[in-house]
Structure 1
Amino acid sequence: MEAVRRLMDLRHRGRAEDLPRVLASAAPLLEAEAATVLLVDYGQVSLQPLRGTTLDTAGTVPVEGTLAGRAFTTAQHQWIEQSDGGLLWLPLLHGAERLGVLEFRFKAYPPESTRHDIEVIAALVAELIASRRFYGDAVEHTRRRMPMQLAAEIIWNQLPPLTFAVDGTMVTAVLEPCYEVGGDAFDYAANADVLHVALFDTVGHGISASALTTLTLNTYRNARRSGLSLLDTCRSIDKWIRAQYPGAFVTALVAELDMATGSYRRISAGHPAELFLRGGRALPALPTPNALPLGLGHMLARPPQVIEQQLEAGDTLVLYTDGITEARDASGTLFGVERLSDFMLTALHRGTPAPEMMRQLIQAIVSYEEGELRDDATAAMLQWRRHH
């Protein structure tokens, strides 16, 4: 309780960068020799010591091929025995969002009562990081391995957490290149039994694209919070893009899922169809597009069509921008929808957690283009389970 009290004091008069110092003082109270916060970087390839950490042994840890990384990717505790004791890594989860890991050094593997205590501490540390990050730049400095372009800064500051889960339903997303992205964005919101999900792909790159994306994202939220239907939401976004950026356009998938019944409704505004996966196979794609890209809607007299689909428990939908399927290898061969489908079905068969599927997917895309993406690549995955 004393360790909890010291950490709780940070809620009212502390910064994120004060967390390492407080954890160091609280570690002996948990029968640990040391405790270190490691946050995942924006590219989700390494774990970085939170700014303010002074331990000589603290350094960057790769996600791939390490026990600390396995704790992050699986959200399961990991332990390694050493000559002078051992290290225990616990996942840092804010809801379903993976922030990093909490590393403890012990003289011996801790008993169950101590493990329970440090699980409570890990949950509290995650809450503190999530709540204190907005009062300073320590978390941002920690997560960045290189300077972020202004266009990407604008977009990241407006996005929701990458992963969200409620009562068995999960939505999780990824964006790349994370330090330069400017034209892609996603959003979601759970209101009562309805999960709202949207994916946007803006024409152009850089600051101009991020400005158009900003307008699109906030118009979408305004329409959603005003209680507009899917049809009227698309009309509102279309109107504002046309008024503020004549000639510009944004492709989009704007969807609603009734989490109680599995009823899925969406409009594709010039956007690729989502992957529809069920029982280990890909089902036929939903009709697309059923509206012109947002900003060009005035060129077609008929209104956008809302497509409806009844989901079954366990169904997975993968929304993506063309930067995923149009990625090219050295020979110019497209990554393509079929390869994307095979990748996702294989990961589902292995039982890979949804957030980890998205991380592995974006790493596969980056590797396919040999580290140099030609376009923003964004994907969002929606899994549905029945409401309890």
Structure 2
Amino acid sequence: MRPARIHQHDHRPQWQLAHPLSALRMTARRSAPPRSDAPSGGAGIRRHFASVVPVLIIAAVAVLALAGGTGMSWLPLLAVGPALAAATSGPWGVLRIGALAVGLGAAVGVHAGTPDRELAIVLSALSALSAVTLASSLAGALRRRREQVLAQVRSVAEAAQHAFLKPVPATVGHFQAAVRYSAAAAEARIGGDLYALVPTPFGIRLIVGDVRGKGLPAVGVAALVLGVFREAAYDEPDLLDVVHRIERSLARNLGPDDFVTAVIAGYPDADRMELVNCGHAAPLLVQDSRVLPVEPARPAPPLGLRALADEAPSLQEVALADGNQLLFYTDGVTEARDHEREFYPLSERLAVHLSEDPSRTLAALHEDLLTHVGGELHDDAALLLLRRPCVGPAGAGRGAAADEVAAADGVGEAVIG
């Protein structure tokens, strides 16, 4: 068995390339579970307040007009109500706001005792207010239609993500597992980062990677890599052959400037994890509360660039004892910066938030990461954590987590495969 080379300094792979949503979504994003877009209570309160603002504006203008005694000079400001309502309400809501504004405008004109010679001016102002109301109602209808289309697109994207990045169960094989994924394009829900965890006849195998670029081209490449990996992981006894299959497929389908950094891992038997690192960030090994980066013994180029380099990927073995954890991640985590342009210290923060429940650990890390960047990620970010539970001697007195893992040995394939 060949031990992994482990260093305690901060490492950034030589092949790794460096890669705005509304701050109002920060609270909802933090409180919601992964890949859920259910509105939070705070968002509902904000929407209700926004719908009341036009009424408050119209009421304020009417009060000022009646109190100041110069009602006609305030009439044009009543148009602010229906115009603002178009951004928050549907067409019927805008019409109700507009009717209120016209009614109050007429009341202000009557109260001011408008002379006959100025009656035409008042009627003209009320006609303009009615026209603004109708135009705002049309704008509200168009906005509502766009929102419905966006909701449909997001529901399709949600379904595509579940097919593209399949859920990871709490236990698979000999491990507890958890994953946390955030796309920089939150409206699309999917991006260029990829992960997969599959049980196979050769033990569990996984991949965590990052496609160069963003948007739909990156999603297409990520889907290609995951498809080839899921097929090869079941067919190839040797983990390096899985990597070669992916490399050959990418060589036929990628453009000259495209590549994918990735870590492919397998657990063929007890106490040993195999790793193949292709230009990706080094996984973090947790041993006895110490967090140590597992750097490749021989760096290899990213997938898709092997023809440009002489280095071929090599197999690395890492010993895993009971209670050890292994964290895989993408550069959207380690390259996330705060307002002072400081990178997120993943190793340090992992040690702080470490627990015996991988899902709890990743939830705390994700919350901490959002706090570090101010609530808004500018790159796709993926975290996948494996933990080997502690098992008592001769199977006696083992923990509930170990019992759960044993019971889930045959479940992982049905959920993930």
3-state DSSP class of the match of 2:262?
A: strand
8 Å contact 2:370–2:377 — kept in the other structure? yes
Does residue 368 in structure 1 map to residue 378 in structure 2? no
Does residue 253 in structure 1 map to residue 263 in structure 2? yes
Does residue 332 in structure 1 map to residue 318 in structure 2? no
**2:164 is matched with which residue?**
158
3-state DSSP class of the match of 1:283?
A: strand
8 Å contact 1:272–1:288 — kept in the other structure? no
Task: Tell me how far apart the structure 1 counterparts of residues 202 and 243 of structure 2 sit (CA, whole Å).
Answer: 21
3-state DSSP class of the match of 1:271?
A: coil
Task: Tell me how far apart the structure 2 counterparts of residues 216 and 344 of structure 1 sit (CA, whole Å).
Answer: 28
**1:305 is matched with which residue?**
314
3-state DSSP class of the match of 1:329?
A: coil
8 Å contact 2:291–2:350 — kept in the other structure? no
Task: Tell me how far apart the structure 1 counterparts of residues 151 and 341 of structure 2 sit (CA, whole Å).
Answer: 29
The one-letter code of the counterpart of 2:364 is: Q
Q: Displacement, 1:383?
A: 0.8
1:1-388 paired onto structure 2 within 5 Å: 43=29, 45-46=31-32, 148=154, 154-166=160-172, 169-177=175-183, 179-180=187-188, 181-191=190-200, 194-247=203-256, 248-258=258-268, 260-283=269-292, 285-287=294-296, 290-335=299-344, 339-348=345-354, 351=355, 353-385=357-389
Q: Percent identity?
A: 25
Q: Displacement, 1:148?
A: 3.4
3-state DSSP class of the match of 1:254?
A: strand
Q: Displacement, 1:44?
A: 6.4
8 Å contact 1:151–1:207 — kept in the other structure? no
Residue 145 to residue 358, structure 1, CA distance change in 2 (3 Å): farther
Residue 217 to residue 209, structure 1, CA distance change in 2 (3 Å): same
Task: Tell me how far apart the structure 2 counterparts of residues 172 and 42 of structure 1 sit (CA, whole Å).
Answer: 21
Q: Displacement, 1:46?
A: 3.2
Spell out, residue by residue over 1:309-336, the C-alpha distance to the aligned partner (whole angstroms, 9 max, x if none): 111111111111011010000111111x
3-state DSSP class of the match of 1:309?
A: strand
Spell out, residue by residue over 1:230-284, the C-alpha distance to the aligned partner (whole angstroms, 9 max, x if none): 21111111121121112210000000024x5120101010001001111111235
Higher relative contact order (CA 8 A, sep 6+): 2
Spell out, residue by residue over 1:65-115, the C-alpha distance to the aligned partner (whole angstroms, 9 max, x if none): xxxxxxxxxxxxxxxxxxxxxxxxxxxxxxxxxxxxxxxxxxxxxxxxxxx
Task: Tell me how far apart the structure 2 counterparts of residues 168 and 185 of structure 1 sit (CA, whole Å).
Answer: 22
Task: Tell me how far apart the structure 2 counterparts of residues 220 and 298 of structure 1 sit (CA, whole Å).
Answer: 20
3-state DSSP class of the match of 1:314?
A: coil
8 Å contact 1:168–1:386 — kept in the other structure? no
The one-letter code of the counterpart of 1:158 is: F
Q: Displacement, 1:373?
A: 1.3
Residue 311 to residue 296, structure 1, CA distance change in 2 (3 Å): same
Task: Tell me how far apart the structure 1 counterparts of residues 272 and 390 of structure 2 sit (CA, whole Å).
Answer: 11
8 Å contact 1:318–1:381 — kept in the other structure? yes
3-state DSSP class of the match of 1:334?
A: coil
Spell out, residue by residue over 1:163-212, the C-alpha distance to the aligned partner (whole angstroms, 9 max, x if none): 33146511211111354431011101123571111101011111111000
The one-letter code of the counterpart of 1:273 is: A
8 Å contact 1:199–1:254 — kept in the other structure? yes
8 Å contact 2:247–2:304 — kept in the other structure? yes
The one-letter code of the counterpart of 1:45 is: S
TM-score (norm 2): 0.54
The one-letter code of the counterpart of 1:278 is: Q
Larger radius of gyration: 2
3-state DSSP class of the match of 1:157?
A: helix
Spell out, residue by residue over 1:152-172, the C-alpha distance to the aligned partner (whole angstroms, 9 max, x if none): 764442222133314651121
8 Å contact 1:163–1:355 — kept in the other structure? no
The one-letter code of the counterpart of 1:46 is: A
Residue 257 to residue 386, structure 1, CA distance change in 2 (3 Å): farther
Residue 169 to residue 308, structure 1, CA distance change in 2 (3 Å): same
Q: Relative to total residues, which structure has the larger helix share, 1 or 2? A: 2
Q: Displacement, 1:61?
A: 6.4
Spell out, residue by residue over 1:132-159, the C-alpha distance to the aligned partner (whole angstroms, 9 max, x if none): xxxxxxxxxxxx9997397776444222
Q: Relative to total residues, which structure has the larger strand share, 1 or 2? A: 1
TM-score (norm 1): 0.58
3-state DSSP class of the match of 1:218?
A: helix
Query: Runs of 5+ in structure 2 lacking a partner?
Result: 1-26, 43-149, 396-417
Residue 47 to residue 198, structure 1, CA distance change in 2 (3 Å): closer
